[in-house]
Amino acid sequence: MSQGQDGSDTHGFLGEEFLTWLWFQWESDGGEFTLPGGRVVGIALDDFLSFAAPSEDETEQTLRRGLPTRTAEARTALRQGRRLKKAKLLIAEGARQWHAVLDATTLTLGSVKLPEDAEECESDVDRTADRSANWLALHEIVQGLYGLFLKSRLRSDYAKASGEEQANWMGS
């Protein structure tokens, strides 16, 4: 795919804002979201963060292990106005948990770990169906979260309301 075909060079910033918004929501409101249809999911950022370089002359910053969201380096990156480019997410719905790295620029998922196979799976066909259902559920959850983000981000009063609150959090 040539540069620009996926929109990442012109719209990738929205994904970066989305990941940073998830982090903000997790720290300020506990990371629980009610998606359309009443689905309740929890989100936490795990042991991998990669910050976008503020300019082409600078390098990306990557933090790993433990709780990188709690490090001085992560707080400094936020204060400098850096947005997340990639992050490992822990996503939970009921007893099911997914781990995945979300690439903000393209909104693609990598390093996905699906929930354990359901106990009812007795055959390869059952396991394949269960895993497919878990992939679909993960896709729907990420879509739903992105929809909630856009609903907030596209509000006419965003800058004076949620945007200012998030900016203050980033600067703290």
The verdict on residue 172 lying in a domain is no
Q: Which residue has the higher pLDDT, 38 or 3?
A: 38
Q: Which of 83, 68, 93, 67 is nearest to 145 (CA)?
A: 93
118-136 pLDDT, tens digit per residue, is 888 888 899 999 999 999 9
The verdict on residue 167 lying in a domain is no
In this prediction, residue 2 has a pLDDT band, given cuts at 50, 70 and 90, of very low
73-117 pLDDT, tens digit per residue, is 988 888 888 889 999 999 999 999 999 999 998 999 999 999 988
Collect contacts of 106-111 with beta carbons under 8 A, ≥24 apart.
106/6, 106/8, 106/12, 106/15, 107/15, 107/18, 107/142, 107/146, 109/138, 109/142
Alpha-carbon distance of 127 to 119, in angstroms, equals 10
Number of domain units in the chain: 1
The verdict on residue 171 lying in a domain is no
Alpha-carbon distance of 33 to 43, in angstroms, equals 8
The verdict on residue 2 lying in a domain is no
The verdict on residue 150 lying in a domain is yes
Contact by Cβ (8 Å): 31, 25 = yes
The verdict on residue 91 lying in a domain is yes
43-76 pLDDT, tens digit per residue, is 999 999 999 876 666 677 888 877 888 888 988 8
The verdict on residue 169 lying in a domain is no
> Domain span at residue 102?
8-162
The verdict on residue 168 lying in a domain is no
pLDDT of 4 > 60? The answer is: no
In this prediction, residue 1 has a pLDDT band, given cuts at 50, 70 and 90, of very low
Strand positions, DSSP E, 11-95: 32-34, 40-51, 61-64, 84-93
How many other CB atoms are found less than 10 A from the CB of residue 25? 20
pTM of the model: 0.86
Alpha-carbon distance of 30 to 41, in angstroms, equals 11
